[in-house]
Structure 1
Amino acid sequence: MNHSCVNCLKTMVVNLSFLCWLCGAFVVAFGEFQVINSKYSSLITTFWPIYPANTLVVTGTIVTCVCYLGVLGGMRENRCMLISFFVLLFVLMLVEMTMACVFLGYSREIGTYFEKDLMRSLEIYRQSSAEGNKTIKDDFDAVQQLFRCCGVHGVADWKDNVPISCCTRDPCNTLLHTNWQEGCLVKLRNWFAGNYLSTGAGVVTMFIIQFICLCITIPLFCHFRRSGLGYQ
């Protein structure tokens, strides 16, 4: 392999790894922003580990750590770092593929748990005192006001204890007022699906970059090995 080809491969490894590192850092920042500003985490607890914000933070952190090895390995021509980068990146891609298969295979079960969690939160809200369970109450009120919905399946879920957040007018000052009739389940489910779609698009983009890095790391590592570059 001539010198210009080696330099080209080295530049590609460094640049693509750095690009992947930047993507991972952005994913972590976006995930942290979602965690801080999320108003729905207390309502959905069954599949909290795969909540979009948590998935973004964990995935982004792992990607940044792995891609940092690729950047350093390419710049320093260190085959120990390159082979570590290759192995970790390969494992990471396998994990990403496994997660994608799990989401596809258990999407219906996730929807069922989603409904159960919302009904549980609604019952806690209904049966709580005026000062009890403030987090769940505030989150449920925020959901109803933001998505213009009421209850899980509809306003009937609240029976005779419909909260002010279901009112169609803001502020709601009259004793007899109109409430939103549509339930929040469908709207929240669509919102989560949109988040997972955006997350999936980002993961696919990173997966393509990672695959290219994986392909060009092998010949570069072989060249460094034939050239006698050790594990300095």
Structure 2
Amino acid sequence: METKGMECCKFLHFVVNFLIFIAGGIILGLGIWVKTSSDATKILETNQGSMGTVIAMIVLGATLTLCGFFGCLGAALENKCLLGFFFTLILLLFLAEVAVIIIIAVNIPKLGAINTSTMSNTAEMKKWDLLQTSLQCCGVKGPQDWGINIPASCCKTSKTCVSSSTDLFKGGCQANHNQMFWIIIGFAIGSLFFEIAAMVSACCLCKNVGSYSAEVTAINRS
């Protein structure tokens, strides 16, 4: 019969990795949806950093899903080799994620920079309309970026706006766009805690698997 410590570690490890598996699936699904959505793609095309972030989301989601699967499998089979492989995979993911978070945080002004040259291009207006209605913003820094030709997508409800209108998004898209990167960083930091818990539970389970196997061997010999 398994010891209480073994049962506790096994349960903890399975729960943590199941949550990682679910979180990875959600991130992966969201990344694929954004990448394949025509409207979302048009918004992302206004900034190269956004497209790179979506690709990073897909890679992160796929890796977390894979880690969660191996973690649950290792707990179910009580296999030390599988648990060791899982620990190594999670550790590498943890280090890579910390590095990416630091890089994104330091380079947010550059990554989040919106291409202002497209504002004078009528062919790009549909992208701007989608960006402004989605983020509820106007221009890069504010409505003044459009001069007297403020597009209808800057208006909250009406079809025409001027700079003095109350029915106008006052904030610029640059600030809202940068805020999206900070939200992504927040989620990434949250996932780091799950990864730490997964590594601790893997070590705990691996140690108890060895102790439990020794106890079973001793009982069988006696």
Q: TM-score range by the shorter chain?
A: 0.7 to 0.9
Deviations 1:15-51 (A, max 9, x none): 33223222222332343444436362111114532x2
Instruction: Quote the offset at 1:76 in angstroms.
Output: 1.8
Deviations 1:175-211 (A, max 9, x none): xx424454322233234433433x2353234234323
- Counterparts in 2 of 1:42 and 1:65: CA distance versus 1, 3 Å: same
Distance 2:130 2:204 in 1: 49
- Counterparts in 2 of 1:16 and 1:85: CA distance versus 1, 3 Å: same
Instruction: Quote the offset at 1:111 in angstroms.
Output: 0.9
Tell me the TM-score normalized by structure 2: 0.73
Question: Of 204, 210, 213, which residue of structure 2 is paired with 1:216?
Answer: 204
Distance 1:97 1:65 in 2: 19
Distance 1:5 1:168 in 2: 59
Is residue 84 of structure 2 the alignment partner of residue 83 of structure 1?
yes
Supply the AA of the counterpart residue of 1:98: A
- Counterparts in 2 of 1:102 and 1:114: CA distance versus 1, 3 Å: closer
Distance 1:4 1:113 in 2: 50
Matched length: 207
Aligned counterpart, 1:120: 117
Aligned to 1:87, the other structure's residue is in SS state helix
Distance 2:157 2:6 in 1: 67
Aligned counterpart, 2:24: 24
Query: Contact between 1:90 and 1:214, CA under 8 Å: does it hold in 2?
Result: no
Aligned counterpart, 2:177: 188
Question: Of 46, 49, 52, which residue of structure 2 is paired with 1:43?
Answer: 46
Instruction: Quote the offset at 1:215 in angstroms.
Output: 3.0
Supply the AA of the counterpart residue of 1:193: W
Query: Contact between 2:21 and 2:64, CA under 8 Å: does it hold in 1?
Result: yes
Question: Of 162, 178, 185, which residue of structure 2 is paired with 1:178?
Answer: 162
Gaps of 5+ in 2: 218-222
Distance 1:120 1:21 in 2: 42
Identity of aligned residues (%): 21
Instruction: Quote the offset at 1:140 in angstroms.
Output: 0.8
Distance 1:127 1:12 in 2: 56
Instruction: Quote the offset at 1:55 in angstroms.
Output: 3.4
Is residue 111 of structure 2 the alignment partner of residue 110 of structure 1?
no
Distance 1:169 1:6 in 2: 60
Tell me the TM-score normalized by structure 1: 0.71
Aligned to 1:40, the other structure's residue is in SS state helix
Instruction: Quote the offset at 1:58 in angstroms.
Output: 1.9
Aligned Cα RMSD in Å? Answer: 3.1
